[in-house]
Amino acid sequence: MERRLAACAQVVAPIASTYWWEGEVQRSDEWLLFMKTTSDRFDDLAAHVRGLHSYEVPEIVAVPLVAGTADYLEWIKRETNSGPGE
């Protein structure tokens, strides 16, 4: 949050995940993290998360935002502009 890479982060946990990894089906409890950012900040946010994550291939995806209220979308844009340390 301090780097202003996201305006908001929400944690949903634990979730039960089942996935293929290294040729085998794996099951584990994981934490789902939603982060609200702009498309301009996605690459920086993804790089930062990758640098902190313990997984070799963490799930970092962007989900397109189809619609939102103008004030909320403006808030995301405003809060993800360059901040301290940028």
The per-residue pLDDT for range 16-25, each reduced to its tens digit, is 999 999 999 9
Q: How much is the pLDDT for 34?
A: 96
CB 42 within 8 A of CB 61: no
Indicate which CATH number applies to the domain containing 55: 3.30.70.120
Domain annotation covers residue 85: no
Domain annotation covers residue 17: yes
Longest dimension (CA), the chain: 46
Structure tokens that stand for 47 in this block: 């790089």
CA distance 55 to 39: 24
Domain coverage including residue 42: 8-79
pTM over 0.75: yes
Render pLDDT for 44-68 as a digit per residue (tens, 0 to 9).
999 999 999 999 999 999 998 899 9
- How far is Cα of residue 81 from the mean position of the Cα atoms in its chain? 16
pLDDT, the chain, mean: 93
Local confidence band at 84 (pLDDT 50, 70, 90 cut-offs): low
